[in-house]
Amino acid sequence: MMKIGVLISGGGTNLQSIIDTVHGKSGEIAVVISNKADAYGLTRAKNADIPAEVIVENDCADVDDFNAKMIDVLKDYDVELVVLAGFMRILTPAFIAAYPNRIVNIHPALIPSFCGEGFYGMRVHRAIFEYGVKISGPTVHFVNEEADGGPIIAQKAVPIDDCETPEAIAAKVLEEEHKLLPWVVEQICLGRVHVDGRRVTIDRV
Ligand code: GRF
């Protein structure tokens, strides 16, 4: 069973969706790492008897040391797939090189729209609301050295013309994130995801 490491920074609802649908079935969450000691996702891990570690960047010498400490933990738990579930810190090239096409991230917009530097959390949904787009939705992608720039694995279009606030957009997109991310993680665990350059295909079953 593929060993998964999940990196979080906050509430962990995406972590919870993976706990509920993948953990102990198509894969095993071997460890949860948070860069925030007060992240509620740590409680979710504890409730599921999943080991968790807190690595605070400010306690590290620099960003390279921070990433090296995370890699050490992931290797200690024999992690094969890293999932960024609301993880709000930068990964270094060394971290990305340690897990080639084995780091996935979920972004709350349809990449290549509303992504990259500065587009995270509510900033994404406020920009989308102000622009007046009618469709948004989550993207799950492999992580490379470009912020939100790795090969796209899956996306889900969500009509948002009925959303009257950025918060309503966020809620509607988050609902779809909770379905898309665990599905992608499961497909990777089952060996159904193939990468050819920027193009990703998933076996139809
Ligand atoms: C989600 O909106 C996700 O798209 C973004 O961060 C948020 C994580 O939420 N990357 P949670 O911590 O999983 O609840």
What does the pLDDT look like over 42-83, one tens digit per residue?
999 999 999 999 999 999 999 999 999 999 999 999 999 999
Q: From the alpha carbon of 11, which atom of ligand 1 is closest?
A: 12
How far apart are alpha carbons 128 and 73 in whole angstroms?
37
CB atoms within 10 A of CB 136: 26
Examine domains 1-99 and 106-140+153-205 and report if their fold is the same. yes
Q: From the alpha carbon of 85, which atom of ligand 1 is closest?
A: 13
Best mutation site among 174, 175, 181 for ligand 1, i.e. most ligand atoms within 8 A of its Cβ? 174
> 106-140+153-205, which class in CATH?
alpha beta
Residue with tokens 């509920």: 20
Amino acid 145: pLDDT: 94
Phi, psi for 172 (deg, rounded to 5): -70, -40
Architecture of domain 1-99: 3-Layer(aba) Sandwich (3.40)
pLDDT band at 90 (very low <50, low <70, confident <90, very high): confident
Q: Which residues line ligand 1 (CB under 6 A)?
A: 8, 10-15, 85-86, 106-108, 174, 177
- What's the token pair of residue 44? 């979710």
pLDDT digits (tens, 9 = 90+) for 9-27: 999 999 999 999 999 999 9
How far apart are alpha carbons 180 and 124 in whole angstroms?
18
pLDDT digits (tens, 9 = 90+) for 145-193: 999 999 999 999 999 999 999 999 999 999 999 999 999 999 999 999 9
Residue with tokens 């279009």: 157
Pick the residue whose CA is nearest to atom 3 on ligand 1.
Answer: 86
This model's pTM is above 0.95: yes
Best mutation site among 14, 83, 124 for ligand 1, i.e. most ligand atoms within 8 A of its Cβ? 14
Ligand 1 center to 44 CA (angstroms): 14
Ligand 1 center to 169 CA (angstroms): 13
125 is catalytic: no
Pick the residue whose CA is nearest to atom 6 on ligand 1.
Answer: 86
Catalytic residue among 107, 125, 141, 178: 107
Cα angle value 148/151/157 (rounded, 5°): 75
- What is the per-residue DSSP string for the chain? -EEEEEEESS--HHHHHHHHHTBTTTEEEEEEEES-TT-HHHHHHHHTT--EEE--GGGSSSHHHHHHHHHHHHHHTT--EEEESS--SPPPHHHHHHSTT-EEEEESS-TTSS-STT--THHHHHHHHHHT-SEE--EEEE--SSTT-SPEEEE--EE-TT--SHHHHHHHHHHHHHHHHHHHHHHHHTT-EEEETTEEEE---
Domain range summary for the chain, segments of one domain joined by +: 1-99, 106-140+153-205
Pick the residue whose CA is nearest to atom 8 on ligand 1.
Answer: 86
